[in-house]
C-alpha cells in the first residue's frame, strides 16, 4: 500500500502565516517533518506567497519538540533544544526564546534539515531498540528460555549493553516517525522493526490461543489500553490492536485501564475471566497479583513481565519472551 504524507495542515498553517505578513518576524517550526520539508516546501511556499526572503526579511528555524509524554513540563524546562535556523540571526532569536524558559538551557545548533533528521533519529533509535528487544523475546521463547532474565544478566554491570525490556511498542510518535524516513530504495532496518513491533499483539493472541484452545465465547480481561504506562493516550496503541484481535477470535473482552475512565472498573474487568492479559505496565497494576489470582482465571499473560510467576498459585503464568 502506498504511504503518502498529508501536508494539508502544514499548508493551512503556512497560508495563515502568509496572510499576516511575516516581515521582521520569527517563524519557529516545532512539529515533526519529513527531511527537506523546510527547504523544499516551507521556505519556497512562504517566499512565493509573501515575496519576502527567508533569513533576510524574516527569521525561520526548525526547532523540533522532543519531550516525553507524562514528563512534558520537566523536560521542556531541562532538555537541550535543537535549533536549525536558516541563518545566524534566526539561531540567536530562538536561542534567546528558549532561554526564557530556562536561562541555563543548552542550545544545539544545526541546519533546518539536520534538525528534522535529529528528531526522527531520536524516535527511530528508540523504536528499533524496542524491536530488537522483542526479537530477543522471540528467540528466547524458541529456546524455552526467559528473555527478561537473560536481558537482566546481559545488562548487569556491563558498560556496552543496555537492552530494553520486550513489550508493546506503539503510540502516535515512534512508529509513525519511522515511516516518515523509510521512503528510500535501500534495504531499511526501519521496515523490519515496524513489521516486528506491529506483529507483537498478534503474537500475544496466538500464544494464548495455542495454550488454551479456542477463544470463542471465553471472557478475557485486558488490563491496560493506553500505548504506554501512566498515559491515557490510546492513539496507535498495540493494546487496542490486541483487543480487536481477541474480539476477532470471538472472545468476550473486558477492558480496564486506570488512566481511562471510559473503561470498566477493575472489579468488573476481573469478573469471572478465563484469561487475564496485563497489557500495560501501569504502576497501579503492581499490587494486583492476588486479585488476579483470585479471579478464577485459568491463564495470566503478562506482556511486560511486571509480575513473577511465583505470585500466582491458581493459574498458568505466561509472559512475552518466556518459553513454555
CATH code assigned at 280: 3.40.50.720
Beta bridge partners of 61: 28, 85
The stretch 64-79 carries a mean pLDDT of: 90
Question: Residue range 133-160: average pLDDT?
Answer: 96
Query: Domain for residue 118, yes or no?
Result: no
Give the Cα separation of 11 and 113 in Å (integer). Answer: 18
Residues 73 and 24 in one domain: yes
Strand pairing partners for 110? 84
Residue 119 annotated as catalytic: yes
Chosen domain end from 78, 110, 142: 110
- Residue length of the chain: 324
**pLDDT digit string, tens, across residues 246-281:** 999 999 999 999 999 999 999 999 999 999 999 999
Angstrom distance (rounded) from CA 292 to CA 287? 10
Asked if residue 204 belongs to a domain, the reply is yes
Domain range for 35: 8-110
Mean per-residue pLDDT of the chain? 93
Catalytic residue among 63, 165, 173, 297: 173
Which of these is catalytic: 25, 51, 100, 119?
Answer: 119
Same domain flag for 188 and 279: yes
Whether 214 is in a domain gets the answer yes
**Tens-place pLDDT, residues 188-208:** 788 889 899 999 999 999 999
Query: For the chain, how far is it from start to end, CA to CA, in angstroms?
Result: 37
**Residue 281: Cβ within 10 Å count:** 19
Is residue 218 annotated as a catalytic residue, yes or no? Answer: no
Residue of 158, 159, 167, 160 whose CA lies nearest to 135 = 167
**Are residues 297 and 179 located together in one domain of the fold?**
yes
Whether 224 shows a pLDDT value over 90: the answer reads yes
238 and 266 fall within a common domain: yes
Give the residue from 110, 145, 174 where a domain finishes.
110
State the Cα–Cα distance between residues 307 and 19, nearest whole angstrom: 57
> What separation in angstroms does the CA of 235 have from each of 43, 198, 231, 273, 282?
31, 14, 11, 26, 17
- For the whole model, what pTM was predicted? 0.88
Q: Which three cell numbers stand for residue 130?
A: 524496542
- Max Cα separation, the chain? 74
Instruction: Report the percent of the chain where pLDDT is more than 90.
Output: 85
Amino acid at each position: 500500500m502506498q504511504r503518502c504524507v498529508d501536508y494539508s495542515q502544514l499548508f493551512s498553517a503556512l497560508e495563515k502565516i502568509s496572510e499576516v505578513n511575516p516581515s521582521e518576524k520569527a517563524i519557529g517550526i516545532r512539529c515533526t517533518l519529513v527531511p527537506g520539508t523546510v527547504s523544499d516546501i516551507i521556505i519556497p511556499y512562504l517566499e512565493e506567497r509573501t515575496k519576502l526572503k527567508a533569513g533576510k526579511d524574516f527569521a525561520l528555524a526548525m526547532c523540533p519538540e522532543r519531550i516525553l509524554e507524562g514528563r512534558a513540563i520537566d523536560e521542556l524546562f531541562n532538555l537541550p533544544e535543537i535549533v536549525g535556523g536558516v541563518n545566524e540571526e534566526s539561531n540567536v532569536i530562538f536561542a534567546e526564546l528558549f532561554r526564557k524558559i530556562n536561562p541555563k538551557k543548552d542550545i544545539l545548533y544545526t541546519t533546518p534539515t539536520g534538525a528534522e533528521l535529529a528528531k526522527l533519529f531520536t524516535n527511530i533509535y528508540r523504536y528499533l531498540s524496542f524491536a530488537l528487544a522483542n526479537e530477543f523475546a522471540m528467540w528466547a521463547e524458541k529456546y524455552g528460555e526467559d528473555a527478561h532474565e537473560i536481558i537482566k544478566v546481559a545488562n548487569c554491570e556491563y558498560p556496552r549493553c543496555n537492552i530494553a525490556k520486550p513489550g508493546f511498542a506503539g503510540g502516535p510518535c515512534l512508529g509513525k516517525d519511522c515511516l516518515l524516513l523509510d521512503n528510500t530504495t535501500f534495504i531499511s532496518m526501519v521496515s523490519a522493526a515496524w513489521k516486528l513491533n506491529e506483529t507483537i499483539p498478534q503474537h500475544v493472541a496466538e500464544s494464548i490461543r495455542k495454550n488454551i484452545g479456542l477463544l470463542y465465547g471465553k471472557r478475557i480481561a485486558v488490563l491496560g489500553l493506553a500505548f504506554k504506562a501512566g498515559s491515557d493516550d490510546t492513539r496507535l496503541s498495540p493494546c487496542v490492536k490486541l483487543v480487536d484481535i481477541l474480539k476477532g477470535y470471538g472472545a468476550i473482552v473486558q477492558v480496564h485501564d486506570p488512566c481511562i475512565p471510559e473503561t470498566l472498573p477493575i472489579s468488573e474487568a476481573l469478573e469471572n475471566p478465563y484469561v487475564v492479559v496485563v497489557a500495560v505496565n501501569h504502576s497501579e497494576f503492581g499490587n494486583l497479583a492476588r486479585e488476579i489470582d483470585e479471579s478464577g482465571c485459568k491463564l495470566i499473560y503478562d506482556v511486560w513481565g511486571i509480575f513473577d510467576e511465583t505470585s500466582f498459585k491458581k493459574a498458568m503464568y505466561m509472559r512475552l519472551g518466556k518459553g513454555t
